[in-house]
Structure 1
Amino acid sequence: MPTNALTFLNHACFHIANDSTLLLVDPWLEGAVFHHGWTLLDNATSNAALVRDLNTRKLNTYIWFSNEHPDHFSVSFLKKLKQDYAGKATILYQSTKDKRVLAFLKKNGFDAIECAPGAVMKLDASMDITVFPYSDGNSFCLIRSGGRTVLNVNDCALASAGACRAVKSAIAPLAPQIDFLFTQFGYANWVGNPFEPGLRRRAAADRRTRISLQMACFKPALTIPFASFVAFSSIENSYLNDYQNSAYTIRQWSSLSASTETVRFMKPRDVLDLDSATPASTVRMSQAAVDHWESLGDAPREVLPAEPQASVADVAGAFARHHAAVCANLPGLPWLLEKLGLIKPLTMYIPDIALTARFSYINGYQQVPIGTSFDISMSSPSAVFLFSNEYGFSTTFINGRFRTASPDALQRFGRFFMPQNLGRQGYGMRHPFATAGHLAGNVLGRLRASA
């Protein structure tokens, strides 16, 4: 076993280990996530197997989570770790306004450290990690181990040359050269209705363009696409798999240009010797990984069954609680935003219970006649989930378990849940000055855009 080794585990999860220290990244290894919206392509990994391996290694263990999304921050893994891990694991997380993740970890008995933005955290004499917050709750990290550098941009949407340059500038004092780049390669949210495949083709092409931009900017020795080994798995969203990038399509695309020919894939339990890995030495590993993922992608997959229906009263009650929560956190603001026309009432069709309803921060819940034009349609369990959880809109947008009725419906949908998203990001009564500054910045940005 190499003494400076990166072992890939699944999806966005890998660990780097030397003789004394192990750094584990984003362990999601089993179970459906995003309200029954995603499942892993490879279901052969498990929390129990990883914890057994950690117990066998007996190393100083650190765990970094890049964001709160359940395909990175797995509560089931944390429960198994707490139950069966014999050693001590220190959890690392980005600095946030709300301190919610830190509070959750400490409440559940974990040793947790909030990483100051851009501050180097030494794990041992030859390994360190530097965490950088990014937009919408995401973060990226630079890991240095044995003189080699790993840049993990994960879910951070580096979709332009300028965004890539900003990240390069942030890490340049620590790492003039990047050896290994880990980056997402698939679209990871709702992309059109079933009859709009062109949107998904363009989204897949956009992800390939992002990889090209990142490779051109960071010039890594190896680029390892990851964090996309999933399937949309509900009966309501499985159509979204139709034009998703796969390991095979990315490998075929990357082989067409000299600028992208150093793309390599890994499969669960593949080990990369960070000290000696080169494009030439990883060809066989990568091809075997592509074959592995392709065989899983081609295999028949059962979609998750529909959940039990919610009632009309359940939907109305969920919205009433949502309305009360956002208005308590942002007193008067949702009402004002709707009054000014910055938020529009949302009309939703819920076919499984034959309900069309209009939701408003001014007028509350109103049932309207079937046949009334609507913005969004979804099942009753999804509607209740949407209104009942802080991450309701974010999760629903990612799992794609809805349909839009017009070209501008998605924008109306997102704007209606702006108060929920502000609370999710830590804005509200607890941080009035930061909230006022954030809102003022958004208003000025809109004014500049319309000028």
Structure 2
Amino acid sequence: MHVTWVNHASFVVSAANVSIMSDPWLEGTAFDDGWGLLSATKFGYEEFRDITHIFITHEHPDHFSPKSLRGIAPEHRARITVLYHKTRDRRVLQYCASLGFKTQELPEEEWFALAPGFEVFCGRTGLIDSWLAYRADGKVILNLNDCIYTTKAKLLPIRERLGKPDALFTQFSYADWAGNPEDEERHKQHAQRKLAQMKMQCEVFEPRVVVPCASFVWFCHKENYFMNAHANRIGDVHRFCTEDVKCASVVLYPGDQWEVVTEHDSESAIRKYNEDYASLPSRPLVSSPEIPIEKLKDAYRNYIRKARAKNTPKLLELIPASVVFLSDLGKKVRISMKHGIEVLAEGDATPADISLGSESLHYCYLFDWGGATLGVNGRYTVPPQGRPRRFFWNFQVQSYNASGVRFDMKMVSIIAARKILSKFGVPVLETLDV
């Protein structure tokens, strides 16, 4: 089983006449210009001539990149089969089919043959995340990528189904807002939690090798650049795995080749990544334009029209309003599902729940994934007395709808039941199936 490292969360596994690439994000920014690739991609679009399958773990732009998919030549798309987990709306596979790819919806937690001697096993967690195990040449790779499991009990069923994988691929640093710029201790704790998750995964799965992945990015916007300071760096992660976790670690740089469980010169890859980290202060940062209030109101009207069509309107009106400080406009506004956007009077003492740029609020209204994107790119701060959850609840419905879930009484009942069960320590399913 041979691995070619592409970038970030993307790599190619080759065996038995199959070459399957995961999550091709080859260029550009992601999450509303909040993330950039730490290192340049060496894999060229012409090399897709040798790819037989593409597996997309979930619908985040650092994993599902329409720009990268469109960059593949039509003649190569026609030969490649895109694999994705089962969803209600099938929109990822439908989009890929519209580009000329063949598509295959993977069964959940069953071995599925891609060719004689090469099988995959797909599982899900949360609203959108999925993971994949590969089995070929007598070896097993488990690619957990971004999947978050908070307890060993939630990982054990996977271990029982798959056994000990030869290689575990997993995320190694934070991938969401870690606190305000001054909250450095919180940033460090957030980064340490990712290492603790890695250690827990290794203790449960007991892989022969762990391969850190899905965190080879930098926060590239003026509003979130501060989050680079305490993100886990790959050299420290490599030492943590080998010295603290007592598990062999392999670090791969774009273009690196690796035969699974063989020796690899990780130090060479780490040196190259360190050069890329060192270049961050000199890289240009992204800035965003101001969006006028009237344009924000127009975006809200379109947003609420779609939300009412997909959900129970009266329930939407029960979602609490939130006060937002638009940092670039110097204005405080109240947003709600019932009344839209109201500009508060200058000097109004109502504390803001969140502070962000007007372009970020505009993005939240424009796209189903807007609120989730802001949570990931971290382009905001929380003022004193701020309650950011009130803000994000105004966009949580979009995330449900994007997963094919309607916000209705059934959904509200499930949310309430989960909160009650969690409060009393009763395990709940990782996937949301309503």
Q: Same fold (TM over 0.5)?
A: yes
Residue 18 of structure 2 is matched in structure 1 by 21
Q: In the aligned structure 1, how far is the partner of 2:77 from the partner of 2:88?
A: 32
Cross-structure match for 2:306: 325
1:271 aligns with 2:244: no
Alignment of 1:43-122 (within 5 A): 43-45=40-42, 49=44, 51-55=45-49, 57=50, 61-83=52-74, 85=76, 88-122=79-113
- Are 2:177 and 1:190 aligned? yes
The structural deviation recorded for 1:114 is: 0.9
Q: Percent identity?
A: 24
After TM superposition, the structure 1 stretch with the greater mean CA deviation from structure 2, 205-214 or 118-127, is 118-127
- Tell me the distance in 1 between the aligned counterparts of 2:282 and 2:159: 40
Show the counterpart of 2:354: 376
1:407 and 1:226 map into 2 onto residues whose CA distance is: 36
Distance 1:407 1:261, change over 3 A: farther
Q: Say which is worse superposed, 29-38 or 120-129, in terms of deviation.
A: 120-129
- Aligned partner of 2:134 in structure 1 is 143
1:287 aligns with 2:267: yes
79-88 vs 217-226, greater mean Cα deviation: 79-88
Contact 2:38 2:276 in 1 (8 A): yes
1:306 match: 287
Shift of 1:216: 0.4
RMSD: 1.9
| Greater Cα offset, 317-326 or 213-222 | 317-326
Instruction: Say if 2:391 is the partner of 1:413.
Output: yes
Residues 136-159 of structure 1 deviation map (CA, whole Å, 9 limit, x = unaligned): 200001100211000000110023
Extract unaligned runs of 5+ from structure 2.
425-434
- Offset from partner CA, 1:385-407 (integer Å, 9 cap, x none): 11111000011111111111246
Q: How many residues align?
A: 421
- Whether the 8 Å CA contact 2:163–2:205 is kept in 1: the answer is no
Match among 374, 395, 401 for residue 396 of structure 1: 374
2:427 aligned residue: none
Aligned residue in 2 for 1:432: none
Write the distance in 1 (CA, Å) between the matches of 2:38 and 2:347: 39
Superposed CA deviations along residues 374-429 of structure 1, whole A, max 9, x for unmatched, are 11111111111111110000111111111112466222222222222221221128
Say yes or no: does 1:424 pair with 2:402: yes
Residue 162 of structure 1 aligns to a residue whose secondary structure is helix
Partner deviation per Cα, 1:239-272 (whole Å, 9 max, x = no partner): 0111000111112323433x43412211112111
Structure 1 residue 333, shift from structure 2 partner: 4.2
Q: Is the 8 A contact 2:89 2:403 kept in 1?
A: yes
How far did 1:25 drift? 0.9
Residue from 307, 312, 323 that aligns with 1:347: 323
Superposition TM-score, scaled by structure 1 size? 0.88
Q: Residues 16 and 116 of structure 2 are in contact (CA less than 8 Å); yes or no, is this contact kept in structure 1?
A: no
Amino acid at match of 1:362: K
Moved over 6 A (4+): none
Contact 2:78 2:102 in 1 (8 A): no
What letter matches 1:235 in structure 2? K
CA separation of 1:84/1:354 partners in 2, compared to 1, >3 Å: closer, same or farther? Answer: farther
* Structure 1, gaps ≥5 residues long: 430-434
Distance 1:414 1:163 in 2: 27
2:169 match: secondary structure: strand
Displacement of 1:370 in angstroms is 3.0
TM-score, normalised to structure 2, is 0.92
1:123 maps to 2:125? no
Matched, 1:254 2:241: yes
Alignment-derived partner of residue 414 in structure 2: 441
Distance apart, 1:450 and its partner CA: 5.9
Aligned letter for 1:54?
F
SS at match of 1:136: coil
* CA distance in structure 1 between the partners assigned to 2:187 and 2:105 by the alignment: 37
The offset of 1:87, in angstroms, is 5.9
Task: Show the counterpart of 2:197.
Answer: 210
Counterpart-to-counterpart distance in 2, 1:242 and 1:439: 39
**3-state secondary structure, aligned to 1:313:** helix
Deviation at 1:448, TM superposition (A): 4.4
* Contact 2:57–2:84 (CA under 8 A) maintained in structure 1: yes
For residue 289 of structure 1, what is the amino acid of its counterpart?
A
Deviates more, 1:301-310 or 1:128-137: 301-310
